[in-house]
Structure 1
Amino acid sequence: MTNRIKEAAQAVTRRSSTALVCAAIGAFALTGAFAAEAEAKEITVALSAAFTTLDSYDSPDTITKAVGRAVYEGLMKFDENMNPVPNLAESVEMSPDGLRYVFKLRQNVRFHDGTPFDAEAVKINFDRVLDPANHLTRRAVYAFIDHVEVVDTHAVAFVLKHPHAGFLRRMAMNNAMIICPKHIKEYAGTKGLAFHACGTGPYKQVAFNPSERFVVKKNPDYRIPGLPKLEGITFVPVPENATRAAMLRTGEADFITTVPVEQMKTLEADPNLVVTAIPSIMQKHLDLNNHFKPFTDKRVRQAINYAINKEALAKVAYAGYAVPQYGILAKNYPGAVNFGPWPYDPKKARELLKEAGYPQGFKTTLWAGYNDTTSSKVVQFLQQQLRQVGIQVETKLLEPGVRSDLVLNVKGPEDSKTRLFYIGWSDGTLDPDQVLRPILHSKQHPPVYMNTAYYANPEFDRLIDAALVEVDEAKRLKLYEDAQRIAWEDAPWAFLLFEMATGAHTKHLKNFKMLVDQSFDFSEAEWVD
């Protein structure tokens, strides 16, 4: 073991768990390409959270779906301007009534197991996600699809239940990946697809352990000539900020995200590194469980918003690499309404709590859907702010697997155990519906989808349901604007921050890019000496 690996392991030992030490060291040993003099065509990427499932139709988090793009591809993808463009499809045609889309598929494409990619493979994948018996968490994303038809070997038709303005954007999402049909059959009725990936992508899976590493090697038969340009990638979860940054500085990692905000300036000053920070659509908010008292009372929810200094939160937890949340949709979205940050007014917060019958405040729990260092700072800050208005909270940080079990895998509102829940959302489509519906529509609470605030307002639901099928773009955006105003006033969350998307890499690594949804694009990444 080199001195650098020893130092990194010692840092992990001081700041994290024994399991993480094993994960980091195991990943380093696996890549075997850390010496500066080596031809480092196999790279290591250190990420801020552990993985969940490689089954994209069941995956709730941005990081896992981002690394899954190494192995999987969809019919569509997003270009650099977040516009949906053909990928495994060559072209797509929509019927005049907007109910039928026919995709012409690329020919001579093969899955990693050697079987051909064709229309039947597409149908098998979408039949699986649309079948409620499979209990896939992302079924709600595609529930508007009535059925899928094989037109011929290289053409497939999607028939919708109703027009859907965001259909092609949904097809470009990281959820809509095409899995080897043989894999689907082999692991039917099991969780095998969570651990075993087989697609048409530029890399093939070598190893996967959700808490330790995801290792991929170059697919020599990839359909695009000249790609991929790297021999392999090892993705390593490293929640501890200092360890992640140390790995980059010492060469144990070639790319990291997110960058510890407290070390941004130090890393920027290193001539061997390149640091990126771009405005993102990732919002972080504090869900207030609207199903249980006292959060059934809008005055309590508004009081919590008044109790939190968002400007100070951005400085304390993010060193300024975040901005107070000014609306439900980031400014990148069509129809986004900028309300300005919810004012910091602890006096008003205490008055509202008194009006609601809680003059002395109350006790509750505050869980975070993450266990990284920055999230720990956020939770501590929120705990202190709420204490000042009489709200005493007991805090808990959840690692991704535990988060799924405790928060998402519930029977319904009565079974929910969260009260205050710090979580984020980044949809990666720039479609207003894919923010407003999954995290605010009354029919999208767990286990269906991600409305973990259990917010329910019939008028809000009506507006976004109408917008979904509205073909006139101006009318559609007006419906979304009206819906945002209702939800902002109802305050189902404490509106906190929009983060910056941050990444850093060695100067030898080119074209490994951060994206606005806080994922990353490594499709054309290469190593240049």
Structure 2
Amino acid sequence: MILRSLLATGLFCGLIAPALAAGDPILVLGNQPETLDPYNTNTTLTTAVTKSFYEGLFEFDKDLKVQNVLAESYEVSTDGLTYTFKLREGVKFHDGTPFDGNAVKANLERVLNPENRLARYNQFNRIRTIEVVSPVSVRITLKEPFGPFINSLAHASAAMISPAALQKWGKDIAFHPVGTGPFTFVEWKQTDSVKGAKFAGYWQAGLPKVDSITWKPVPENGTRAAMLQTGEADFAFPLPYEQAKALGENKKLKVIAQDSIIGRYLSMNMLQKPFDDPRVRQAINYAINKEALAKVAFSGYATPAKGIVPAGVLYAHPMNAWPYDPAKARQLLKEAGYANGFETTLWSAYTTSTAQKAIQFVQQQLAQVGIKVQTQALEPGQRVEWVQTAPDPKTARVRLYYAGWSSSTGEADWALRPLLSTEAWPPKLNNTAYYSNPEVDALIAKALVTTSDAEKADLYAKAQEQIMKDAPWAPLVVEQNLYATSSRLSGVVVMPDGNIDSRQVAVAP
């Protein structure tokens, strides 16, 4: 089942697993959160944790449809510049501070202040002014029309933080979350766990259904799976694809595989030889068998990428996948002056077993056409220093780069602009190909300001077709989300973008 987006209202060392308390589920993730400030992260699993404590004006449901949360409704001016929001009354933050228009203003002005250097600044920098009309009404005026604005507000990063807590903690709010969500913050033992307790004053009647929630980062694939088997965890995501069958045979577990909007790709640094030659980039696309990659690295829980933006993202434009044709790849390399191939490096943005399998497969495929690559899976610190914050594009060390992305706002802008526009070169955003095409930039910019769905779809389609032609990437696969829960757990859903909705979490007695 493909989910469509529409705007709408290792080995486990423990021999004996400790018993789980009836109302205290443990949810295991593949990575640890780097912060508990939702405005200062680009990591989806980090915002999955912060959603325990925080809510925004809107949210996405499991089908990536926008739903009202702290905003009950909104109106848009005919020129697409002014949004007026009616806020939910009677909601309080965990510290007792009322949620109102001043809270909205304080949060948005914080992220808009460039001196704060928050990671999500570019998501909101089209806002010109925020005006508190009344305690329950806020008017936001944009610098220019911005079609995905409501989707941006539905993103998990657009959370409402208590203004009193912001004033008290300042930058340390990253360690002291205070929101309106179903759980209050208890403790964060970095590298070990984040725990929240039931918020008795939560505005949604009947929630939360458990006394506490604990998130545990467990980087090793096999250990996450083992914790499910032994009963030490109630939920684990992501799961190693190669263990899906074995886990599915355990009657105490429920294993779920769902289509996602997470695309995996290989970017090529176009500022450096030989990747400045389009024939070399095309050759790399022809050299990789995406069907085989899906089977080898993802155990079949992936499909070849059919274009730049995965299906399920609004305004995705499906295209034919690059065919596997090593003879064509060798011909193009010869035409480009690399008849004997060349040597280069291939980095992975991840250290997971799946990523290791993927880059090893790509290495073998490229070797068959004469391209010899040295592979390295980057640790988080290396990834940030060597790739994401490389200060000078001309001297950036990245060459071939295996990475992935999901448009967590549910539409094509956030699938294209942060990755393939000229303004997105690191360290600003994530255009690790250092791709620059003025035509594509213009199409993306125009799509942002148009209010016509038909025109927007046409602009994004043209942009995606041009990107595919220029080949700054080798689009590889779109993976499935694979996760599992204990039979006693319900109410936890992995979203198409890899985020997690745990508000309805419940455990059977």
TM-score range, shorter chain: over 0.9
CA deviation string 1:62-117 (max 9, x = no partner): 11111111011111111333221221112111112111111111222222222222
Separation of aligned partners in 2, 1:417 and 1:223: 50
Q: 1:131 and 1:285 mapped to 2: Cα distance?
A: 33
Which residue of structure 2 aligns with residue 17 of structure 1? none
Report 1:334-413 matches (<5 A): 334-413=314-393
Task: For 1:276, give the aligned amino acid.
Answer: I
Q: 441-450 vs 389-398, which deviates more?
A: 389-398
Shift of 1:8: 2.1
1:485 is aligned to 2:465:
yes
**1:415-434 equivalence runs, <5 A:** 415-434=395-414
Q: Distance in 2 between matches of 1:208 and 1:379?
A: 34
1:67 maps to 2:71: no
Q: Is the 8 A contact 1:239 1:373 kept in 2?
A: no
Task: State whether residues 333 and 430 of structure 1, in contact with CA within 8 Å, keep that contact through their aligned partners in structure 2.
Answer: yes
> Which residue pairs with 2:3 in the alignment?
none
User: Would you say the 8 A contact 2:266–2:474 is kept in 1?
Assistant: yes
1:106-125 alignment, distance < 5 Å = 106-125=88-107
Deviations, residues 394-424 of structure 1 (Å, cap 9, x unaligned): 2222233442333222324235332111111
Residues 53 and 210 in structure 1, CA contact (< 8 A), matched pair in contact too: no
Cα distance per residue 1:429-459 (max 9 Å; x no partner) = 3211111111111101222222222211000
Deviates more, 1:192-201 or 1:305-314: 192-201
- Listed as ranges, the matches of 1:262-277 within 5 Å are 262-277=242-257
Which of 211, 227, 239 in structure 1 is aligned with 2:191? 211
Partner of 2:167: 185
- 2:59 partner letter: K
Alpha-carbon distance in 2 for matches of 1:123, 1:408: 30
Q: 1:187 Cα shift? A: 4.3
| Paired residue secondary structure (2:424) | coil
Structure 2: distance between partners of 1:49 and 1:164: 33
Is 1:468 aligned to 2:472, yes or no? no
CA contact (8 A) 1:361 1:390 kept: yes
Contact 1:137–1:448 (Cα < 8 Å) also in 2: no
What pairs with 1:131-280 in structure 2 (closer than 5 Å)? 131-188=113-170, 190=171, 192-280=172-260
Cα distance change on mapping 1:114 and 1:464 into 2, 3 Å:
same
The code of the aligned residue for 1:44 comes to I
Given the alignment of the two structures, is residue 511 of structure 1 paired with residue 491 of structure 2, yes or no?
Answer: yes
Q: Distance in 1 between matches of 2:176 and 2:432?
A: 29
Matches within 5 A, 1:310-325: 310-325=290-305
Gaps of 5+ in 2: 1-10
Counterpart contact for 1:50–1:399, Cα < 8 Å? no
Q: Secondary structure at the match of 1:274?
A: strand
Aligned CA distance change for structure 1 residues 131 and 415 (closer, same or farther; 3 Å): farther
Match of 1:96 among 60, 65, 78: 78
Is the CA contact 2:169–2:176 (under 8 Å) kept in the aligned structure 1?
A: no
Q: 2:110 aligns with which of 128, 133, 140?
A: 128
Give TM-score scaled by structure 2 length: 0.94
Q: Any gaps of 5 or more consecutive residues in structure 1?
A: 1-6, 12-27
1:23 matched to which residue of 2? none
Q: Which residue of 2 aligns with 1:25?
A: none
Deviation at 1:478, TM superposition (A): 0.7
Residue aligning to 1:21 = none
Q: Does 1:8 align with 2:27?
A: no
SS at match of 1:8: coil
Alpha carbons 1:409, 1:447 under 8 Å: kept: yes
* Aligned mate of 2:280, from 300, 310, 331: 300
**Matches of 2:341 and 2:260, distance apart in 1:** 35
Residues 421, 436 of structure 2: 8 Å contact kept:
yes
Tell whether the 8 Å contact from 1:50 to 1:400 is kept in structure 2 after alignment. Answer: no
CA contact 1:92–1:102 (8 Å) conserved in 2: yes
Please report how far the alpha carbon of residue 485 of structure 1 lies from its aligned counterpart in structure 2 after TM superposition.
0.4
- Residue type matched to 1:315 in 2? K
The question of whether the paired residues in 1 share the 8 Å contact of 2:492 and 2:501 is answered with: yes
Post-superposition offset of 1:238: 1.7
Asked if the contact 2:407–2:497 (Cα under 8 Å) also holds between the matched residues in 1, the reply is yes
Aligned-pair CA distance for 1:352: 1.6
Distance 1:394 1:528, change over 3 A: same
Query: Structure 1: how far apart are the matches of 2:24 and 2:221?
Result: 23
Q: 2:25 aligns with which of 43, 49, 66?
A: 43
Q: Structure 1, residues 128-147: CA drift from partner, whole Å, max 9, x if none?
A: 11122222222111122112
Structure 1 379/209 Cα, relative in aligned 2: closer, same or farther at 3 Å?
farther
Letter in 2 for 1:8: F
Q: Secondary structure at the match of 2:373?
A: strand
CA deviation after TM superposition for structure 1 residue 175, in Å: 1.5
Q: 1:106 to 1:441 in 2, by over 3 A?
A: same
Q: Report the Cα distance in structure 1 between the residues aligned to 2:253 and 2:217, rounded to whole angstroms.
A: 20
Per-residue deviation at 1:53? 2.2
Distance 1:50 1:347, change over 3 A: farther
Cα pair 2:317 2:460 within 8 Å, conserved:
no
Deviations 1:237-274 (A, max 9, x none): 22222111111010111101112111111111111111
Aligned ranges for residues 423-462 of structure 1 at < 5 Å? 423-462=403-442
2:168 & 2:346 partners in 1: Cα distance?
41
1:362 CA displacement: 2.0
Structure 1 stretch displaced more, 435-444 or 210-219: 210-219
